[in-house]
Amino acid sequence: MSTTVDPITLDLIENALVNARSEMDSVVVRVALSPVIREQHDAFPMVCNPAGQMIVGQFGSYIPAIVEQYGDNIHEGDIFVWNDPYACKGSISHNNDWCVMLPIYHEGVHVGFSSMFGHMVDVGGKVPGSMPSDSRTIWEEGLRVPPVKIFEKGQMNEGVLAIMLNNSRTPDMNRADLMALIAGCRTAAKRVNEVCDRFGRDTYLAACDKLLDRTREAMRVLIRNYIPEEAVSFTDYVDDDGLGNGPFKMHLSIYRRGDIAVFDWTGTDDQAEGPINFHIHEGLCKLFFGVYMIMAFDPKIMFNEGFYDLFEIVLPEGSLLNPRFPAALSNRLNTHTRFFDCQAGALGQRAPHLSMAAGYGTSPHFIFTGKDSNGKYFQLMELLFGGVPGRPLGDGFDGHAWWPLFSATPIEYIENYYPVMVESYRPVRDAGGAGLHRGGAGIEKIYRVLEAGSISIHDDRETVPPWGINGGLHGGTSSKWLQRAGSETRERIASKLDNLHVEPGDKIIFITAGSGGWGDPLDRPVAAVERDVADDLVSVERAEQDYGVVFGPGKTLDEPASVTLREARKKERGEPAPFDFGFIPGVHAAE
């Protein structure tokens, strides 16, 4: 006889699990040492049922792939660790992500798993930070650890830990961050045991099943409402692979077959020579589509893996999204985030009122390494943010992360712990695509280094602009500049480079991409344009060019002239285009 769970108990257990997931984050932040995890929160927790399905979390479950390898050799007190994307079927996607998994037992009975992965500052390889922009194989990208037990029945495997730390330039940070992930998983196990004690183990397990079923039914409705039977397709591009090749096409077709949504990446370019390949797990692919549909169409739905059987994924082997071993993977985020843009572009064709434009399109990072005045090695790694796209509910965010829980590294932290001064940090004028709802602006961050060393930079959307939707215009692209000490000249440098030598007083100007606008910019309230001009987010020239809003001397709004110009522009232009891609070198012919 199956255990019944009343609605109130189900909600209590759901919220207990959601709180446990949040507590995992809090524990990790308190224990970790690296700025990437401690300050920027680049770590992702989840709690799963005994089958390894994610009940709460963000990145979806990779547990079945690990359980398949170990079978019955999983016991209470075991803790697993790994970082090799190819050894876990793409459940994590580059060597910097160290993943921890802990089986949860209640009174000797297996009731689930807790797991967490986080980005380690350095895992070896040929460059500091372990993300070379010019790698051709994963062998160049640092230590690869297959799923192994770092704890076996409660006893630490010191040999495994020693090997992992011995291959990093930042062993102290890595050790602290790894122990933080383990502590987070143990916290979740404790909370699950408390829920089982309070409500009964059978009730807890039945509630997990019901939470999956509820999400599945809600997703079935979304599929019926928003996925058409006739295929819709969309194409976007990654700039380059760091080795001079590109742009790289990503092509997505979406259609429905009964209750099954099919997401087909046929037509996507072959895997790259450089490290932008994204070895994505099929389940992770389903998760990304699911989270987009939930956030775009019904954010009240609980996010878990209950809907997986309603999705069918086609990932052509040997493509940018399913590369063959040993393809390089370290900078896969350029492809990863373009994945989201393709979803928005495809789904937005049938539900434009619920879709959004394209964003800054990667996870830009800045690495500065060297020795300080005391001869001590330092390695600063910072993730930077850009423009989050215009959307149905309003303007995009300026200088914001793609990932909801990420935050910028405090400037005080950087300047306190590293030989760097941050001279400026501000949004970029005119980087947000014009629209009824303006796209978010990229940011300009100016670093002045105080010691000699080397810098590495990884970014994208330098040549392929973030597109606008529903009449919105494309956003601004990224750029990077070097200004040597004592010089007033800025030298443009590549968006993907490693080990550029710098001397004290040199400045690095890091400009990220903006994002596309949503809706007709000629319909944007004049007061909103006036505010953007006052806040230096939009120039007077672009206000007139893109929005038809005229300013006189001293940035004084000329409202009658604006009304006349807007009416004339609309009559001359006609209906706005559904998408504005801008000019894409290598794709569009030069005018």
Domain segments of the chain as ranges: 7-214, 356-520+576-591
Residues 270, 274, 275, 277: what is their CA dihedral angle, to the nearest 10 degrees?
0
Average pLDDT over residues 1-24: 92
Q: Tell me: the pLDDT tens digits for 31-50?
A: 999 999 999 999 999 999 99
Average pLDDT over residues 138-152: 97
Residue with tokens 């949040």, as numbered in its chain:
22
Could you give the CA distance from residue 441 to residue 181 in angstroms, rounded to a whole number? 33
Could you give the CA distance from residue 435 to residue 33 in angstroms, rounded to a whole number? 42
Could you give the CA distance from residue 557 to residue 540 in angstroms, rounded to a whole number? 10
Low-confidence winner among 328-332, 346-350, 438-442 (lowest mean pLDDT) = 346-350
- Percentage of the chain modeled with pLDDT above 90: 85
Could you give the CA distance from residue 324 to residue 136 in angstroms, rounded to a whole number? 12
Average pLDDT over residues 293-302: 87
- Mean pLDDT (the chain, rounded): 94
- 584: pLDDT strictly greater than 80: no
Phi, psi of 239 (to 5 degrees): -55, -60
Q: What is the predicted pLDDT for the residue at 348? A: 85
CB 348 within 8 A of CB 298: no
- 233: pLDDT strictly greater than 60: yes
Average pLDDT over residues 465-477: 97
Say whether 69 sits in a helix, a strand or coil.
helix
Q: What is the predicted pLDDT for the residue at 590? A: 56
Dihedral sign, Cα of residue 80, residue 84, residue 87, residue 90: positive
Phi, psi of 370 (to 5 degrees): 165, -160
CB 248 within 8 A of CB 463: no
Q: Decide: pTM greater than 0.75.
A: yes
Average pLDDT over residues 222-231: 93
DSSP letter at 585?
B
Q: In one letter, which amino acid is 493?
A: I
pLDDT band at 352 (very low <50, low <70, confident <90, very high): confident
Could you give the CA distance from residue 122 to residue 95 in angstroms, rounded to a whole number? 9
For 26, the enclosing helix (H) or strand (E) is helix 7-31
Average pLDDT over residues 390-394: 92
Q: How many residues does the chain have?
A: 591
Q: How many DSSP H helices and E strands does the chain contain?
A: 12, 24
- 1: pLDDT strictly greater than 50: no
Out of 58-72, 331-345, 474-488, the most confident range is 474-488
Q: What is the predicted pLDDT for the residue at 68? A: 87
Peptide bond before residue 247 is cis, with ω within 30 degrees of 0: yes
pLDDT band at 361 (very low <50, low <70, confident <90, very high): confident
Peptide bond before residue 326 is cis, with ω within 30 degrees of 0: yes
- 174: pLDDT strictly greater than 90: yes
Q: What is the predicted pLDDT for the residue at 591? A: 47
Residues 554, 555, 556, 559: what is their CA dihedral angle, to the nearest 10 degrees?
150
- 528: pLDDT strictly greater than 90: yes
| Position with higher pLDDT, 116 vs 287 | 116
Could you give the CA distance from residue 70 to residue 301 in angstroms, rounded to a whole number? 34
